[in-house]
Amino acid sequence: MTLTPEIIALLTLDVIFLGLGTLALILSLRIAYRWDYAAVTPLQYRLTKQSTLVAVIIKYIFVLKLPLFLFFIYTCDKLSAVITGAMCASGVVNSIGFGLDLTLFKLFNLYGFGFWLLLHAEDASHVRLAYTRLKLILFALLCVPLFTEIILEIGFFTRLDVSKIVSCCGTLFSAASSSASLSLLFNVDARVWVGIFYLVYTVSLIALWLKSTAGVIVSNTLFLIFALISLIVFFSTYVYELPTHRCPFCLLQKEYYYVGYGLYVMLFTGTFCAVGGGLLASITHTIPYRYWRLSGFFNTAYVVSISAYPLAYYLKNGVWL
């Protein structure tokens, strides 16, 4: 167990989230069970007030989770200087078996709670608060990944062993990776992944144009997945200008001008607006033009900026990596 001040800060906030989250969960289950908008009983009156507390707690958690996600990556990055063998956050994240799962859970929760806030905003401006029960049930469901994440994080930092020697990203993200699913990625030709990436992007644009809710949701989910795969397998090598250096984390380091933060923000915002707006549309039966316009903008910005790396490399050197 390593108690650096960074870890203490993350753990303190985790405990707060756990406490407030439990309170919100209990309240929301009770409200969801007893909710009756038409009633004018004191109970319903109390429930209405309590539902604002639930919303406040969730907003608090989400608003902090957003920068904390970056801080988590940053802390891992910093720890990589201490842990032998790790060169960036990926080594630290993977030094514990469930490290990668933890990162994915964090990402999923950001999407989940982001969507919850969209639904909440929709509910609060509805004349009859029609989505209150739905949003509270959704929160209760989201509590499962939220608590899993928090418990995983506490487990992660208490088990993190600084003296253990870990692998660096060079071996983790290669065909020799110990993880079967990861090594599979590298055994397939990178051009296939890149092709799928551009294909899915085109499909997502068409879906936006056709205003097909299901199409937008599915294509953007796929876009997110293949964007990450093609980033690891193909595009990252051009950022590092090294054919063997494939890593989704080193992008975030100073050597590469923290470009990863910008790229990830574009990618995550773009896909979030599409999927979140789409899910919202399927509930409220209206087309969320604003979210989808944003999504189209950010996704395109991501595709343009990530494509610029290999293109610039080719124009400069006349060869592909």
Partner 1 sequence: MIVVSNVSKMFTQAEECVQALSHVSLHVAQGECVLLKGASGSGKSTLLSLIAGLAQPTSGSIVVDGEEISKMPERLSAKMRRERIGFIFQKFHLIPYLSVQENVTTPLVPENIPLHVIEAKAKRAMERCRIAHKAHMYVHRLSGGEQQRTAIARALVRNPMIVLADEPTANLDRKLSLSLIEELRALKHEGVTLVVATHDPLFFDLDFVDQTIELHHGVLRP
Partner 2 sequence: MLFSFRWLLLEYAVRSLFRRFGKNFFIFFILSFLIFILSSVLMIAESIKAELNATLKTLPDMTLQRFVAGKQTLIPVSRVDALLEIQGVGSVTPRIWGYYYFKPAGVNFSVVGLDAYEEPYSATMARLIKDVDWTQRSPSPTMIVGEGVKTILRENYYNDFFNFITPEGQTKKVGIAGVFHSDLALEANDLIVLPKQTAYEIFGMNASDATDIVLKVSANVSEIPTIVAKIIEKFPDLRVVTRDDIRVSYQNIFDYKSGFFLALFCVCAFAFFIIVYDKSNALSSEEKKEIGILKALGWDTDTVLQEKFFESFILSLGAFLFGLATALFYVYALQAPLLRAIFTGYSTLKPPFALPYTLSGSMIVLLFLLSVPVYIAATLIPAWRTSIVDADEVLR
Could you tell me which of 102, 103, 100 has the C-alpha nearest to residue 151? 102
CB of 40 to partner 1, least distance (A): 5
Residue 196 phi/psi, 5-degree rounding, is -60, -40
Instruction: Name residues whose C-beta falls within 8 Å of residue 116's C-beta, 6 or more positions apart in sequence.
Output: 58, 62, 135, 138, 139, 142
| Nearer to partner 1 (CB atom), residue 126 or residue 191 | 126
CB 23 within 8 A of CB 182: no
Binding flag, residue 5, partner 1 (CB under 8 A): no
CA distance 148 to 312: 42
CA distance 209 to 274: 12
Per the document, the length of the chain is 321
Residue 5 interacts with which of partner 2, partner 1, none, CB < 5 to 8 Å by class = partner 2
CA distance 252 to 282: 36
DSSP letters for 159-173: H--TTS----HHHHT
CA 119 to chain centre: 18
CB of 316 to partner 2, least distance (A): 32
CB of 295 to partner 1, least distance (A): 24
Q: Which stretch binds partner 1 (CB under 8 A): 23-31, 121-129, 183-191, 238-246?
A: 121-129
CB of 313 to partner 1, least distance (A): 46
Which residues inside 48-107 make contact with partner 1, applying CB under 8 A? Answer: 48
Q: Which stretch binds partner 1 (CB under 8 A): 125-133, 189-197, 213-221, 279-287?
A: 125-133
Could you tell me which of 223, 97, 224, 216 has the C-alpha nearest to residue 152? 97
What are 57's two structure tokens? 């707690």
Which residues inside 80-139 make contact with partner 2, applying CB under 8 A? Answer: 117-118, 121, 124
Residue 301 interacts with which of partner 2, partner 1, none, CB < 5 to 8 Å by class = none
> Pick from 1, 5, 97, 128: which binds partner 1 (CB under 8 A)?
128
> Pick from 1, 97, 125, 187: which binds partner 1 (CB under 8 A)?
125
CB of 254 to partner 2, least distance (A): 11
Residues in the interface with partner 1 (CB under 8 A) total 10
Binding flag, residue 52, partner 2 (CB under 8 A): yes
Binding flag, residue 45, partner 1 (CB under 8 A): yes
> Pick from 30, 60, 259, 261: which binds partner 2 (CB under 8 A)?
60
Residue 125 interacts with which of partner 2, partner 1, none, CB < 5 to 8 Å by class = partner 1
Q: How far is CA 133 from CA 48, 129, 136, 297, in A?
A: 11, 9, 5, 33
Q: Which stretch binds partner 2 (CB under 8 A): 13-21, 36-44, 103-111, 215-223?
A: 13-21
Cα torsion 6, 7, 12, 16: sign: positive
CA distance 247 to 233: 8
Binding flag, residue 26, partner 2 (CB under 8 A): no
CA distance 237 to 247: 8
Residues in the interface with partner 2 (CB under 8 A) total 25
Residues forming the site for partner 2 (CB under 8 A):
3, 5-6, 8-10, 12-13, 16, 20, 49, 52-53, 56-57, 60, 64, 68, 71, 74, 78, 117-118, 121, 124
Residues forming the site for partner 1 (CB under 8 A):
40, 42, 45, 48, 124-129
